[in-house]
Amino acid sequence: MASLWFVLGLCLIVTVCAAPDKIIFDPRGHHDSSKSVKDAPNGTHVPPKVSSPAPKSSPAPKSSPAPKGSSASPKPKQMRPFFVFGDSLVDNGNNNFLYTIARADAPPYGIDLPQHLPTGRFSNGLNIPDVISEYIGSEPALPYLNPELDGKKLLVGANFASAGVGILNDTGFQFLNVLRMPLQLQYFKEYQQRLGKVIGEKRAKEHVNKALVLVSLGGNDFVNNYFLFPGSARSQSISLSDFVKFVISEYRKILKTHYEMGARKVMVLGTGPMGCAPAERAQHSLNGECAQNLQAAAALYEPELTKLVQDLNAEYKQNVFVAANTKLMHHDMISDPKAFGFVSSNTACCGQGPYNGLGFCTSGSNLCKNRNEYVFWDAFHPTERANRLIVQQMMKGTEEYMKPMNLSVMLSIDSHM
């Protein structure tokens, strides 16, 4: 699945419900039936403490035309277009329109949204793009495959993400039909053509130039590819360090394509501490420690991703890309949950088996009463409250978390077209 939070951007293996028996509509014209790593990443790193404890419940507003969270975020005066690419950490419903097993369209997903219904988000409530939308003063961008994304709604932006995808095209094959990155980028081009018919080609180009772009990839390439099973073909054919270099080289092509298509403010999420997800603890731990192999992968990948961002910015002679160290952000909450108001950082709120990390999150799963007390919602994905803390760090974090600048600074700088 994606880069979980931990991947975060993670989204590793998708913790999804079985596809319902229904016809899946695709606006494109198709109809388908339907050992332990415990040290802090930076050694002497001391995570920031939150100033207030977690709320005692998981409230949601009484009514709202678009999902709103339990605590409003500060909004600037002018709305900014927002485009989202990647995996299940940031998918807000595209997979609902596909014939795939990577889906979150059944309860209890969405339990803390205003209507208490699933929307395709891999969360109990809002996901990372939703919270960012609050900060930039915008309603959440609709999934690109949603037929409602048309006309003036195109001005808000679009979400192209699809649970299960990775940087590599052969990642996530077990999920059947998902929007792999070449297709997400093809749809981005199509979106710009559609927008041009609404506001004109020149204004459409300017609209894309000033937009914020979020990309979440990489976790699935390790969880659902290199480490998919012991002795996988990929792990037998290439060393982990060389695989990381290969993935980064492919990621470079993806990010350069974003630039070529007009993106000028791009935030790139890391994979996070993949081995600490409940699913990985359940499958690879005797005493609850994080899975060593995935932690080693994250430790190799994160600095390479930061270097990639720095190299691209140097090439373009401007700070187009920002690297979000989600591994460190999530490690803070996992290593000292009480400092952030959490009760549990190793057990999922929804699931079954050890650490609620086995199988899917379904209506028959164990379900915690207070989602605000848990870092993880399901076997791989964060709760809404964890997502909010992550975005808070993205907005205001120091260079330790956000390089070369945090999102607040990035958004204050005019795009160079």
Enzyme catalytic residues: 88, 378, 381
Tell which residue, 8, 3, 12, has the closest CA to residue 283: 12
Sheet holding 212-216, edge to edge: 157-159, 82-86, 212-216, 266-269, 321-324, 402-403
Task: List the beta strands (DSSP E) in 163-269.
Answer: 212-216, 266-269
The string over 306-317, giving b where at least 16 C-beta atoms fall within 10 Å of a residue's C-beta and e elsewhere, is bebbeebbeeee
**Dihedral sign computed on CA atoms, order 154, 256, 160, 115:** negative
3-state SS class at 213: strand
d(CA 275, CA 259): 32
| Displacement of CA 85 from its chain's centroid (Å) | 9
d(CA 69, CA 131): 8
Beta strands at 366-367 and 30-32: parallel, antiparallel or unpaired: unpaired
